[in-house]
Amino acid sequence: SNILIDPKSLKVIGVIDFGDMVYSCKVYDLAISMAYSMIKPLPNCSGTETAAAILQGYCQTNEISECERKILRICIASRLAISITLGALSIYKDPNNEYLKRHAQPGRNALRSFWTHDPPDVDSIFKNAIETGTSSKIETH
């Protein structure tokens, strides 16, 4: 609902999210985007592969430090855990809300799948996404 689409080409041209406007590390925003992409992965892709596609695109216009890369996995998992926890609290407060119930399980599945994915494999997938994104930099003005 916060995605801007070009009406002619039907391509994504921007994303707006005023709900989480805070001053913090840029890697957290990246991790949040990657985490939420894992809840409903791209067709024929795992959650990790879908998150890597976000990372690759990010690296076309932004740099990510080695330190940021190293904490990315824990930041993604933390965001998924926070979402699951807040969702559980919301369901506890409103147990008849079917919308909340319907969206709870995919988040749990995403976290379980991601956290049990072999960490060196995740690191390799993310490193490749960074290298691919960096090698196809897009100039911004």
Q: What is the pLDDT of residue 16?
A: 81
| 3-class DSSP state of 69 | helix
Mean pLDDT of the region 29-53: 95
Q: Can you tell me the distance from the alpha carbon of 3 to that of 139, in angstroms, rounded to the nearest whole number?
A: 22
**What is the overall mean pLDDT for the chain?**
91
Mean pLDDT of the region 82-88: 94
Reading the block at residue 7, the tokens are 């009406």
pLDDT at residue 141 is higher than 60: no
| Percentage of residues in the chain having pLDDT higher than 90 | 72
pLDDT tens for 42-57 read 999 999 999 999 999 9
Residues 6+ apart with CB under 8 A from 75: 27, 28, 31
Residue with tokens 């824990």: 74
pLDDT at residue 95 is higher than 60: yes
pLDDT at residue 33 is higher than 80: yes
Mean pLDDT of the region 26-51: 95
Q: What is the pLDDT of residue 14?
A: 86
Confidence of residue 131 (pLDDT cuts 50, 70, 90): very high
pLDDT at residue 137 is higher than 60: yes
pTM: 0.80
